[in-house]
Structure 1
Amino acid sequence: MVVALAGAIALFASGTVALPAQEVLVVRGMIGSKRDFFQDPEVKRLLMAHRIQVQMTPVGSRELVNRDDLDDYDFVFPSGQSMVEVVYERRKNKSTNPYRPFFTPIVLATYADYARALRDAGVVREQGDGDGLYYDLSVPALIKVMQQGRFWSDLGTGNNNRVITQIPDPCRTYSGATYVGMLAFALNDNHPPTDDEAAVRLAREIKPLLDVEGQHGDDHAPKYLAPDGRTFGTVVVIYEHQFLAHQLAVVERTGQPDRTRALLYPEAQHETAPELLAFTPAGNRLGHLISEEPALRRRALELGFRVLGPSGETSDYGALSEHLRARGLPTPTSGIGDTETWLPNRKLLERMILEVGGCA
């Protein structure tokens, strides 16, 4: 009886016991790469304590904003400002309220031995306090190695494949499209193309570097982080939070980080600025919660996100660093840097993606 009473008290305190007698608000949303936040069991539990259940339609950000049924949802959550602009244009004169709970840089992920091979080839430089987990990446140097058609075996490894970067489908995903923009920025002397002729020229120079991969996938992080991830690819484009969430989980489980993997931060980095765009009162309720509710903000940190202030301000930039240090993980020195990759305007980037990916 004592155990049963204690359990009932705990359920009542969490709000769970009252759920059967209270209506659960189902909030429908289309979500790009940040869907892993809403797929997290703890996030689901915290939302359910507020009687909210998120019903997700997972879809690439670039595909999301062009869906015919956009207005049928309570919210959408695309990655990147350019995709947010498309939503605003499509919903002109309709209610669209933005929420910016967190952000995460686009990075390249690899394995420790490949990171050392790239270091010896002058492509990356190990971060001083990164304990072998983090490297600074020269995108121009990486492009040079790829253009030369060099193989990993040329760099002292036993891999006889060409040195390439595997990316999500640039026609469907924001990260894939952004990587094309990052390559263009590096190839154009740290300037984005400003006219159609330059955009097409750069796209045609980039296309052979991506065609080597063959068919592009969607989110590469799950395969990269799988136990047999090495058989899938050597260098992949992912988001920082995906790597950090993996490391935090490994440290919690074993007490030590996963030293078989490493993260490469482009020296001219690009931060994604995902926004939850709410169309209905239900969407607004969810947006307020993930932006302001302390337990949900703390869970975002535990999932590797860089958490913004409750109103989207930058006051909480250092919270992730503190969270990593408290759990015995080194803090990357890149990810928030002074040098940023500037993408071409949306029209020119679309022109480049069409040329590179062959998408409509």
Structure 2
Amino acid sequence: MRKFLAPALVVVLLTAVGGGIWYSNTRVGDDRATAEAARLTQAREVSVRGLIGSEKEAFFADPRVAQALAKHGITVSVEKAGSRSIANRYDPKKYDFGFPSGAPAASQLKTQAQAANVYTPFYTPMVVASWKPIADILIANKIAEKRGDVFYVVDLPALMALIEKGTRWRELEKSQAFATSKAVLIASTDVRTSNSAAMYLALASYLANRQQIVQSQEDVDRVLPSVVPLFLRQGLQEQSSSGPFEDYLALGMGKAPLLMAYESQMVEFWLKNPDKAKGEMVLMYPSPTVYSKHVLVPYTPAGARLGEALEKDPALQALAHEYGFRTGGTEKGPAQWARQGVAVPDTLVDVIDPPSQEWLERMISAVEARFK
């Protein structure tokens, strides 16, 4: 027995020692792998800073957006500014990205940043925020019509002609619900700072230029007599889109019978206040209209990571829908909103492009000169 037992004990002992060495090495290897994974994760984590349009401020302040971005290793801090201001404040030492509300400003930024790629995670059409009594007056005057649950400004040139002539609301047919001496105007933000006003200018200049996009100095000279008064006659104008929309909500029809706004503003309000979706507030879609594209221009690789996450992550796109933005992907927003009682067109056909930044800037500068 001793003859066989001693070698067996030696085998057991050697096995135990070998197993201990193997376990120890495995544990060390696991610890090293964990440490390396943590190092790589930390290397992937970035903090990005950027300038955004005010209408995206609530989106970026949402803790769920911060959590979704954290899964990509991204922490974001933002400052809000008008789109024209964003285009004029390019500073890659201070910011990782610019995120204006319109393609013309983004085009200028792209050139300055020499960005290989830009990202368009959101877009929204320009609309006229109004009220049912006002919509009924415009319908009676054959300027608007209702198709299903959606109102359209079907004769936008006729509406612009009323504005140009200084027509009073009480002078219109069947205007008893708003028989005031107030001039027919579309209120907007300050075209010198804000993209929503710039998109209004793009739309008005298209109509004044024989329904052609402004693309020469001759075109600019032709449209200025018609478009400049649209802004000069408004009086005080807010620098960003949030201010006029808050007045629209708080002060009612008397303050803003017609307001140039983003569809996203009204959709977001209705989603958060479903009891108001069947009230007196209405969206009117100009025909033609123009899309406001929210284009993120990266100045740094970290900014590009943010743009890619916003454009491709389904969770972030779903959150964007809650703030009224349309997106790419399989569900663009309107279908989800319809399930929540908010009716908007799935698609818009009569849509124009804004002028290039060069010609839009020339028109804005001309309006700016008249303000002084």
TM above 0.5, yes or no, is yes
Q: State the distance in 1 between where 2:308 and 2:358 align.
A: 32
Counterpart for residue 219 of structure 1: 240
What is residue 268 of structure 2 aligned with on the other side?
245
Does the CA contact (< 8 Å) of 1:104 and 1:241 recur in 2? yes
What is the distance in 2 between the residues matched to 1:294 and 1:123?
39
Q: Find out whether 1:147 has 2:189 as its counterpart.
A: no
Q: Choose 150-159 or 173-182, whichever is displaced more.
A: 150-159
Q: Note if 1:330 corresponds to 2:358.
A: no
Counterpart in the other structure of 1:287: 307
Structure 2 Cα separation of the partners of residues 31 and 273 of structure 1: 13
Q: Contact 2:163 / 2:184 at 8 angstroms: preserved in 1? A: yes
Measured against aligned partners, the alpha-carbon deviations of 1:300-331 in whole angstroms (never above 9, x if no partner) come to 1122111113xxxxxx3x53221022213323
TM-score, normalised via structure 1 length: 0.81
Amino acid paired to 1:129: G
Number of the residue aligned with 2:155 = 138
1:302: which partner in 2? 322
Partner of 1:16: none
Deviations 1:125-145 (A, max 9, x none): 11x221xx5333432011111
Distance, in Å, in 1 between the alignment partners of 2:264 and 2:184 is 25
* 1:1-360 equivalence runs, <5 A: 25-36=46-57, 37-48=59-70, 52-67=74-89, 69-92=91-114, 97-126=117-146, 128-130=147-149, 134-155=151-172, 156=175, 157-221=178-242, 222-251=245-274, 254=275, 257-309=277-329, 316=330, 319-332=332-345, 336-337=348-349, 339-358=350-369
- How far residue 197 of structure 1 moved from its aligned partner, in angstroms, is 2.8
Provide closer, same or farther for how the CA distance between residues 159 and 258 of structure 1 changes in structure 2, counting only shifts above 3 A.
farther
Q: Structure 1 residues 277 and 349 mapped into 2: Cα distance closer, same or farther (>3 Å)?
A: closer
> Deviation of residue 185 (structure 1)?
1.0
Distance in 2 (CA, whole Å) between partners of 1:220 and 1:176 is 8
SS in 2 for 1:26: strand
Deviations 1:82-123 (A, max 9, x none): 22221122123xx55422212111111111211111221222
Mapped partners of 1:274, 1:344: distance in 2: 16
| Structure 1 vs Structure 2 CA RMSD | 2.7
**Which blocks of at least 5 consecutive residues in structure 1 are unaligned?**
1-21, 310-315
CA contact (8 A) 2:193 2:240 kept: no
SS of residue in 1 equivalent to 2:181: coil
Alpha-carbon distance in 2 for matches of 1:32, 1:166: 19
Pick the structure with more helix per residue.
Answer: 2
- TM-score, reference length from structure 2: 0.78
1:153–1:188 CA distance, 2 compared to 1 (3 A): same
* CA positional deviation for 1:51: 5.6
Unaligned runs of 5+ in 2: 1-41
